[in-house]
Amino acid sequence: MAETINTLSVITIVISGLVLLLGVYLIKSGRREAHMKAMLTASTLATIFLVLYLTRLGLGYEKKYIGPNKGAYLLLLVSHIILAAANLPLALLALWNAWKGYLASGRNLGNIDAPAARPFFARHRLWVKWTVPVWLYVAVTGWIIYLLLHNYGEVTRGG
């Protein structure tokens, strides 16, 4: 069961990262409504990943890295963990400001420059300048860690 949960968690985070990239493309091409849907989808998938990941850990399923260059692996892992922890509040702040801006715009994304909406969307843009690169780093390093553990991992079963 834990192995299936592990596979599903990897699938959700891979798709989340790809949808995040799609969302960035959509906003850069001015497609606000599609951007909002993509980012909500990416956020939902990332949340599902987190639930699956924590469930897998709760079941005691982990893999220990037994491959070469353990120092490089640990550096990658530590940077991944620190930035993954930082990404949650970053993403929540970005989503919160987008939501407040959306409400202040009268739920009309064509009206994001309305005086009531403008400050929220300005803060949203400021937060995503940090959130998107961190999210992408966490996603890509997570994929790399998964592949390394797939090839050089030893299953440990605890609690």
- 156: pLDDT confidence band, cut at 50, 70 and 90? confident
Q: Which of 127, 129, 135 is nearest to 50 (CA)?
A: 135
Per the structure, the count of domains in the chain is 1
What is the per-residue pLDDT for 1? 84
Instruction: For residue 29, give the CATH number of its domain.
Output: 1.20.120
91-142 tens-digit pLDDT = 999 999 999 999 999 999 999 999 999 999 999 999 999 999 999 999 899 9
Q: Which domain holds residue 11?
A: 2-157
32-52 tens-digit pLDDT = 999 999 999 999 999 999 999
Amino acid symbol at 157 = R
- pTM equals 0.88
pLDDT reading at 158 higher than 60: no
Q: Which of 131, 50, 142, 53 is nearest to 92 (CA)?
A: 131
Residue in this structure with the two tokens 């939902």, named with its chain if needed: 44
What is the per-residue pLDDT for 155? 86
Q: Are residues 132 and 39 in contact, defined by beta-carbon separation less than 8 angstroms?
A: no
Neighbouring C-alpha atoms within 13 Å toward the C-beta of 143: 13
21-35 tens-digit pLDDT = 999 999 999 999 999
84-93 tens-digit pLDDT = 999 999 999 9
Q: Are residues 101 and 112 in contact, defined by beta-carbon separation less than 8 angstroms?
A: yes
What is the per-residue pLDDT for 159? 46
Surface-to-core class of residue 30, CB atoms within 10 Å of its CB (0-12 exposed, 13-18 middle, 19+ buried): exposed
pLDDT reading at 12 higher than 90: yes
What is the per-residue pLDDT for 157? 67
61-76 tens-digit pLDDT = 888 999 999 999 999 9
